[in-house]
Amino acid sequence: MDTEDLRLAVYTSFALTGRAPEFSVLAERFGAGEARSGLRALHEGRHLVLGPGDEVVMAHPFSSVPLGFAVMGAWTLWWGGCAWDSFAMPHLLPGDPEVLVSTRCPGCGAPHAWSVGRDAPPSGNQVAHFLVPVSRMWDDVVRTCGNQRLFCGEACVDEWLARTGNDRGYVMDVSTLWRLARGWYAGRLDRGYRRREPTQAAEYLREAGLRGRFWGLPEE
């Protein structure tokens, strides 16, 4: 089965409604067997993430489950899969050049919100902490995304790490997060989308300002 129509059906549903399409809708359009095998192929190809019963849990940057972020556009409300995905939304959605991203600091519970647009990073002294290094991000994608969070600052990151027993991952400021997010999903709503090759991905990460082994990049 050519899965491109199926992939676009999933992504278009998320983009327009904030929700994954019901399997019954996909089965009616593509046939139940073809839809199920196609979803599994897309999962294996890392175009989406399936949960129990082949439910679509994530189709980055979209999520069907809450992972700490809400993203509000002009007419649609989405779950933001993580800090990275939430900041990517306005760069991907043609009808929403600016969105409101909201969350709570995992360290102290303080609420935060940013108006995130396409032209420049939002202001703010908060920091993003990514727990899982790039080489292991797909071991458990939901856990990875659930631990890409925004904190009040370094002190809240340290408090959360001490409380949870996690080792420190990678910390970046809001501007770096915006640069990371702005072009990462470019073309994902278009027919014929292709994931970046590893060398292209590494160059993109470097241009966003990321460094070091956490991102699979040489130390500088």
pLDDT per residue rounded down to tens, the chain (220 residues): 689 999 999 999 999 999 999 999 999 999 999 999 999 999 999 999 999 888 999 999 999 999 999 999 999 999 988 999 999 999 999 899 999 999 999 999 999 999 999 999 999 999 999 999 999 999 999 999 999 999 999 999 999 999 999 999 999 999 999 999 999 999 999 999 998 999 999 999 999 999 999 999 987 6
203 CB-near residues (< 8 Å, 6+ apart): none
φ and ψ at residue 33, rounded to 5 degrees: -65, -45
Q: Which residues contact 88 (CB under 8 A, 6 or more apart)?
A: 61, 181, 182, 184, 185
Whose CA is closest to 146, among 66, 71, 67, 60?
A: 67
Distance CA 119, CA 162 (A): 37
Measure the CA–CA gap between 56 and 64, rounded to whole angstroms.
7
Residue 116 tokens, joined: 């995130």
Question: What is the C-alpha separation between 100 and 86, in angstroms, rounded?
Answer: 9
**N-to-C CA span, the chain:** 45
Locate 166 and state its tokens.
């996690």
Q: Residue 219: what pLDDT? A: 72
Rounded distance, CA 33 to CA 23, Å? 11
Cα gap 180→207, rounded to integer Å:
8
Residue 128: in which H helix or E strand, if any?
strand 127-130
Tell me if 108 sits within 8 A of 120, measured CB to CB: no
